[in-house]
Amino acid sequence: MTDRPRFEETPDEIFAHEEEPFEPHVPSPAVRPKGPHLAAFEWIKANLFSSVPNTLLTLFGLWLLWQAIPPMLDWALFSAVWHGDDPTLCRQAGGACWAFVEQKHRFILFGLYPWDEQWRPLLAVCMFIAALVTTCCPRFWKPWLAGMWIVVFAACALLMWGGVLGMTFVDTGQWGGLPLTLILSVVGMVCSFPLAILLALGRRSDLPAIRSVCVGFIEFVRGVPLVSVLFMASVMFPLFLPEGVTINKLLRAQVGIILFTAAYLAEAVRGGLQAVPRGQYEAADAIGLGYWQKMGLIILPQALKVSIPPLVNQFISMFKDTSLVIIIGLFDLLTTAKTAVAEPQWRPFFVESYVFVAMIYWSFCFFMSRYSQFLERLMDTGHRRT
């Protein structure tokens, strides 16, 4: 071979290379072979010890873990008391008292619901969750979902109230725990959503009177805390109604939550409406659609698609906010957890009670937030112009 640069080689010469004697491949020092151990080592070096401050941070973090994890594991697992009904055993053990959760889980989950009838709220909760999971699969987004929900609502109402088919009647005052939290949030979602769409459309309306009514309502509700809305529902609602007419506490709280959520959802929907290009409105006008046809067939399908992530976020915060009904004395999941540790002998074990309930809330909210990320990817059809 000559010393000529390679790109001047003729085709013949290129073929000539094939007859060169075989040379074993010697790795250059820059490209070391990567076994699993070496790859892990390099990853650690790049992500944990890339510089002096990083190394210090990592060491500090490891020290924190060392300080926190063993005592926590010891508390939660090794020294924990799992069974029994004796608080003194728990005190001696010095670890977590999961026996408390074992003792009280039915009260925490179902509140004051009659003990022997608690299979009914359990069944209702299972149906609710199954319906929710079904609704979350895009595969099942068919018209029959609405029918399924009506059936589920009816069945749950039947189970919770009873009074027929040999089930004893249970007043809403005895409802509590997880079913109550789920009812407040799911009914709140279902009822506030259409209201929110109307409010959002009203806020973008050309008619000044309708617009100002909607703006006034939305801004007023968004400016005050939910606590004050609930107070209003519990203290002022009875004053608003004609004499002799009473509605129960649960319904009052539910109405308060619906009105409050609707104002926030309306802003999410409005964001979606604003994201629909002007041309879509004009095109709908041009083909002669009326207002409701234009909105229902052209604008809202596009707007709601865009506003699904903020809507789900609003649902998450509403689910957490149902815990505020403790302030007006409803027995939701948080109230039962707080009441369960009110007995003097169980008082030291408030951590277990709150952790148990926090895990329930956390799993629902975490699932919803992951689901909203999934929807965002699913809905991203790449039509966005940026």
Partner 1 sequence: MMAVSDQRATTVTSVPWWNDRRIRAVLYQVVVLAGVALLVAFLVSNTLDNLSSRNIATGFGFLSREAGFAVSESVIPYNPADSYFHVLIVGLLNTLKVSVLGIILASLIGTVVGVARLSRNWLVARFAAAYVEGLRNVPVLLQLFFWYSLITEALPSPRQALNPLPGVFLSGRGLRFPEPVWGPTHAAMGVALLAGIAVAWGVARWARRRRERTGQLFPTGRVAAGLIVGLPLLAWLFGGAPLAMDVPELRGFNFSGGLSVTPEFTALLVGLVLYTGTFIAEIVRGGILAVAHGQTEAGLALGLSRGQVLRLIVLPQAIRVIIPPLTSQYLNLTKNSSLAVAIGFPDLVSTANTAINQTGQAVEGIAVIMAVYLTVSLSISTFMNWYNRRIALKGAR
**Positions that interact with partner 1 (CB under 8 A):** 47-48, 50, 54, 57-58, 61-62, 64, 206-210, 213, 220, 222-228, 231-232, 235-236, 238-243, 316, 320-321, 323-324, 326-327, 334, 337-338, 341, 347-348, 350-351, 354, 357-358, 361-362, 365-366, 369
Residue closer to partner 1 (CB basis): 302 or 323:
323
Other CB atoms within a 10 A radius of the CB of residue 380 amount to 9
| CA distances for 161 relative to 121, 172, 190, 200, angstroms | 10, 7, 20, 35
Residue closer to partner 1 (CB basis): 101 or 326:
326
> What are the beta bridge partners of residue 97?
81
Q: Least CB distance from residue 204 to partner 1, whole Å?
A: 15
Q: What share of the chain is helix, strand, coil (3-state, %, to 5)?
A: 75, 0, 25
Burial 26-58 (b: 16+ CB within 10 A, else e): eeeeeeeeeeeeeeeeeeeeeeeeeeeeeeeee
Q: Least CB distance from residue 228 to partner 1, whole Å?
A: 5
Residue closer to partner 1 (CB basis): 14 or 241:
241
Residue closer to partner 1 (CB basis): 149 or 361:
361
Residue 384, classed as helix, strand or coil, is coil
Q: Least CB distance from residue 365 to partner 1, whole Å?
A: 4
Tokens 């769409």 found at: 197
Tokens 């699993």 found at: 36
Q: Least CB distance from residue 47 to partner 1, whole Å?
A: 4
Q: Least CB distance from residue 343 to partner 1, whole Å?
A: 13
Residue closer to partner 1 (CB basis): 50 or 168:
50
Q: How far apart are CA 209 and CA 355, in angstroms?
A: 49
Q: Least CB distance from residue 350 to partner 1, whole Å?
A: 4
Q: Least CB distance from residue 118 to partner 1, whole Å?
A: 23
Residue closer to partner 1 (CB basis): 16 or 62:
62
Which structure tokens are listed for 140? 């099942």
Q: How far apart are CA 332 and CA 325, in angstroms?
A: 7
151, 179 contact by CB (below 8 A): no
Q: Least CB distance from residue 261 to partner 1, whole Å?
A: 14
Q: Least CB distance from residue 245 to partner 1, whole Å?
A: 9
Provide the phi-psi class of 80: left if phi over 0, else alpha when psi is between -120 and 50, else beta.
beta
Q: How far apart are CA 157 and CA 186, in angstroms?
A: 13
Residue closer to partner 1 (CB basis): 299 or 316:
316
Residue 197: partners with Cβ closer than 8 Å, 6 or more residues away: 266, 269, 300
Residue closer to partner 1 (CB basis): 236 or 297:
236
Tell me, rounded to whole angstroms, the distance of Cα 150 from its chain centroid: 23
Residue closer to partner 1 (CB basis): 187 or 232:
232
